[in-house]
Structures are given as structure tokens and as C-alpha cells.
Amino acid sequence: MRKNMAIDRHHTVAFTGHRTYTGEAREALCAEIRRLAQEGYTTFLSGMAEGFDLAAAEAVVALRSEGLKVQLVAVIPFATQSSSFTEENRARFRRILAEADEVILLASSYHRGCYQQRNDFLVDHASALVAWYDGSRGGTQYTFLRAMKRGLALHNLSSAILPDPRLFE
């Protein structure tokens, strides 16, 4: 695991998605990562939450083991983030961290706003966002709309109809 890797946002993709994601876009996710890598994206940021974040991080690791030249950066909002995960997801979290090229820990302990800080980091350090966003309110919506307002290339793998972003200005 490398530390202090320089992140070139112009070649970096961030992931955001709902914790309720159960793998329904697995093939589309892998295809999108491959396509973005062919476009020159080399670094992928995961916020490491249950659901889509862990699935996206696992996809990067799996594709890298197939020879795709990509790096995974795990962006953790606070040190004990995984303590509320299911046992299965805690094990997935640990496996992903062991495979990550870099782990960025944003805070030593939970504090109000730490998830928003993590989401801001993801958007601020990427030029593209791959999402599993169904239009519902929450952290994924916040991240998706912030990325939209900042002009990131958006790739939503959910087939849900999205709300007009002007409703949230």
C-alpha cells in the first residue's frame, strides 16, 4: 500500500452510490471502469461505504488483477467507519484496504459532517464521477449534485429518472 500518492484530478474518477446497492449493475460498472481507463483515467477513489462504494472498489481491484493499469484510493471518513458494517462487509472492507494503492484517513474519529467532508474530498479530487444514484435524498444525492455543479463528467449506472438539479439550488 503506497502512501501520499499524488492525485491528478484530471485522470481521477470518484465513486458514489447508495448503501442499498446489491450488485445489479456489476457488469455495467466493470465496463464503465474499463472504458474510463481507455480514456486515460488511472486513479479511482472510493469512499468505502457499504453498498456501491465497496462494490466499485472491488471492481477496480478485480480489473487490476486482470491487467488493467488502474489505482485504487480508499478515502475513509473516520477510523472506525466499518464498525457498524455487517461482518461480511467488514471483511470486504479489510480485503479492499489491503489491496488499495493508498488509504486516505480524513479523521481519527467520527464527527458531525465527516461523511460530507469525505464526499467533498471525492468530488474535489476527481474530474469524473461514476454513480449509482436513484434520485433519492442523502449523501449520494449531495455528492452527485455537487459533482454536477462542479462540471465533473457524470456516469450514472442507475436507470432511475433523476430530479431536476435546479430543485436543490
Cell of 22: 446489491
Task: Indicate whether 2 pLDDT > 50.
Answer: no
* Helical residues (DSSP H) of the chain, grouped into ranges: 26-38, 52-65, 87-99, 114-124, 139-149
Q: What is the pLDDT of residues 4-61, one digit of tens each?
A: 678 899 999 999 999 999 999 999 999 999 999 999 999 999 999 999 999 999 999 9
Chain Cα centroid distance, residue 115: 12
Please state, in angstroms and rounded to a whole number, the distance separating the CA atoms of residues 41 and 33: 9
Domain 9-160 fold: Rossmann fold (3.40.50)
pTM for the structure as a whole: 0.93
DSSP annotation of 11 reads: G
The residue ranges of every structural domain in the chain are 9-160
CA nearest 128: which of 30, 31, 18, 41? 41
